[in-house]
Structure 1
Amino acid sequence: MQNTRENDKKFMRHALDQARLALEEGEFPVGCAIVQGDTILQSGRRRNSEGAESNEIDHAEMVTLRALLAEQSGLDYQGITVYSTMEPCLMCYTTLLLSGVRRFVWAYEDVMGGGTNLPLQHLPPLYRDMQVELVSDVLRQESLSLFAQFFQNYTYWQDSLIAEYTLTQYQQLIEGTDRNPQT
């Protein structure tokens, strides 16, 4: 599962920059970068969590993929990696799989809705035969810090599993007892 590459941290930093912008905008701090080889093709962040245009589709990965597809038709997905500051949810993961992405790198695990544990081998051939590479915990502490800031300041998520988990993980990080160190 883990096959960290030399540039993974570099590209994750770019996704983290997007997550910081999302946090500054009052959004869930998820950033994404879609990379091919050594080139960032597109980046984006979570949008429309609240307000008049509120929806559950504008996750960072979906926003970034839509922007990329609007710019480039007939994209060859060979060698594409998606970097996300949080493990992709089921919607984002399967959409990216169907688009041709086979390598996913994320910083922070989504204990409430992460989709990468989907057992592809138990699904129909379209999914079962996909060779997918998953890399977790790249710059995890930086992402964890952003999520902790978010959950400390927004009451909407206050009692959710992910808020409680994140704040516990952040406290352990501060105390030096974090059991999931960043790579």
Structure 2
Amino acid sequence: VVAAGGRENSGVDGNEFDHAEILALRRLLDTNPSLDFTEIAVYSTLEPCLMCFTTLILNGFRTIVYGYEDVMGGGSSLELKRLSPLYASMQVKVIPGVERAGCLDLFQRFFRDEKNDYWRDSPLSQYTLEQHLD
């Protein structure tokens, strides 16, 4: 599953819950409701937020791959073993930093775009613009 389309669904004009991961999950459920999600990896340019991360794992996804860390709202560092039994028993593999340089470039261009007001001057924007491309 590739979580895509975030820029078009950045919450400015649409539903704040319509993150790319949620939209991709809805499309997948609509078209392939009988898939075994434990066998499918989710790929995202940005680390999933807490809402998206828990939605994905509650729906059975066990491998989450992302390129760029979300220092403001990333949820993949959640310690599942410290939570209730429903979460504590889940074996989730998180693979960070895949194609990080390309993702960083994408987000730097996004935050430098004068037409973009989404998360302008946020901790994520500031952190991203301070990073150096390798």
- Following superposition, the deviation at residue 74 of structure 1 comes to 2.0
Q: Which structure 2 residues correspond to residues 65-104 of structure 1 after superposition, within 5 A? A: 65-104=25-64
Alignment size in residue pairs: 130
Give the letter for the 1:101 counterpart.
F
Question: 1:71-150 maps to which residues of 2 (within 5 A)?
Answer: 71-150=31-110
Task: Give the secondary structure class of the aligned counterpart of 1:165.
Answer: helix
Cross-structure match for 1:48:
9
Out of 54-63 and 84-93, give the one that drifted further.
54-63
Output the TM-score relative to the length of structure 1: 0.67
Q: Distance in 2 between matches of 1:78 and 1:90?
A: 19
Q: Is the 8 Å Cα contact of residues 45 and 61 (structure 1) preserved in structure 2? A: no
Aligned to 1:161: 123
Q: Distance in 2 between matches of 1:62 and 1:131?
A: 21
Question: What amino acid sits opposite 2:50 in the alignment?
Answer: L
Q: Which runs of 5+ in 2 are unaligned?
A: none
Measure the CA separation in 2 of the matches of 1:108 and 1:56.
21
Report percent identity of matched pairs.
50
Distance 2:53 2:60 in 1: 11
Moved over 6 A (4+): none
CA distance in 2, matches of 1:78, 1:120: 17
Per-residue CA distance 1:21-68 (angstroms, 9 max, x = gap):
xxxxxxxxxxxxx1xxxxxxx6532243222xx221111111100000
Distance 1:73 1:155, change over 3 A: closer
Query: TM-score, with normalisation over the residues of structure 2?
Result: 0.90
Structure 1: runs of 5 or more not aligned: 1-33, 35-41, 177-183
Cα RMSD for the two superposed structures = 1.5
